[in-house]
Amino acid sequence: MLRTWSNTMNTLLALQNAVEHARNADYFGTSTTSKGGYPLINFFEKDGNYVAVAELPGIDKNNIKIEVKDNFLRLAGERSIDYGKDISRHRIEREPYRFDRTVKLPFQVDRDQIKAEYNNGLLAISLPRAEADKPKQITIN
Amino acid sequence: MSAETKEMIKQENQDLQKQEHQEEKTIAGRYFMPQTDIVETENNLLVTMDMPGVKKENVEVKLDNNVLEVEGKIDFSPYKDMTPVYSEYNVGHYTRRFSVSNTIDAEKIEANLAEGVLTLTLPKAPEAQARQIPVS
């Protein structure tokens, strides 16, 4: 992030971004996440391909819609919470929501190879990079 | 130190222990506070916690001295051969404590984990259940 010292202003802006990012991610907080879009997604790289993991506890997997178009990934769905009628609430922290989020991926995806799994409230989508998008190694004759 | 002071300190310590997150864990790694709903029905107290990524076998529920302690551990092994490139949320174990009244039938507590949501059913002890008294 702090790549150069030649432009002090850029360095300061980068520092500000870093601080804001840390605050938004709520790293020092007590919960795994706080602010930002929903669902929150972690991206991983695995053998040159990518895996997107999202925390989506308590959702019927038939209610999760995953779409990939060009290099846009869209996650939509709904989580409902129903405790029935005759209850008294002592503490309510979990929220029901309807979500729809689209993220732009920095590569083209091989759409026929995309796989999604939903286990223990975690949605994992493996996004293989399209062959045509992979860099080609060129040898010198 | 007078006996009175001792008693006061003891009481304070007990009060502290009742608070959530008061004790440190012996196992390294970050712990998070699961978002929790607590609702009461006619016969039960329902505790619902979001614990995405926790498997059934890694959940521990304890009720001791009217303190309900829940711990859910994450299995980090799937993350071993993956390199994070962009992250929006933190991954870690979950733990939370609640003090409950002594009107819970500890023997009959039920726990169920589905899709990353832990549901605890704490039945009220029979003597704590409301009784309708007919007027004759």
Amino acid at A71: N
How many angstroms separate the Cα of B34 from the Cα of each of A86, A137, B10, B52, B90?
25, 47, 30, 9, 12
Q: Residue B78: is its pLDDT beyond 80?
A: yes
Give the pLDDT confidence score for residue A25 in this predicted structure.
64
Render pLDDT for A30-73 as a digit per residue (tens, 0 to 9). Answer: 666 555 567 888 999 988 889 999 999 999 889 899 999 888 99
Counting one residue from chain A and one from chain B, the pairs whose CB atoms sit within 8 A come to 126
Give the pLDDT confidence score for residue A98 in this predicted structure.
87
Q: Which residue ranges does chain A devote to CATH 2.60.40.790?
A: 37-81+96-136
User: What predicted TM-score, i.e. pTM, was given to this entire model?
Assistant: 0.73
Amino acid at A82: D
Q: For domain B27-128, give the fold.
A: Immunoglobulin-like (2.60.40)
Render pLDDT for A1-39 as a digit per residue (tens, 0 to 9). Answer: 555 556 777 778 888 878 877 766 666 666 665 555 678
Domain residue ranges of chain B, discontinuous segments joined by +? 27-128
Separation CA B116–CA A58 (nearest Å): 6
In the numeric block, the tokens 């309510």 are attached to A92
The answer to whether the beta carbons of residues A53 and B116 sit under 8 Å apart is no
The answer to whether the beta carbons of residues B46 and A9 sit under 8 Å apart is no
**Sign of the CA dihedral running B26, B27, B29, B34:** negative
B91/A32 CB distance under 8 A:
yes
Q: For domain A37-81+96-136, give the fold.
A: Immunoglobulin-like (2.60.40)
The answer to whether the beta carbons of residues A87 and A12 sit under 8 Å apart is no
Give the pLDDT confidence score for residue A106 in this predicted structure.
85
Element (H, E) at A22: helix A8-25
A90/B40 CB distance under 8 A:
yes
Question: How much is the average pLDDT of A69-95?
Answer: 88
> Cβ contacts (< 8 Å) between B32 and chain A: which residues?
30-32
Q: Residue B42: is its pLDDT beyond 90?
A: no
The interface pTM score, or ipTM, of the predicted complex is 0.71
| Beta strand extents in chain B (DSSP E only) | 31-32, 36-40, 44-50, 54-64, 67-74, 83-86, 93-99, 110-114, 117-123
Separation CA A29–CA A41 (nearest Å): 18
Q: pLDDT band for position B25 (50/70/90)?
A: low
**Is A36 in CB contact (< 8 Å) with chain B?**
yes
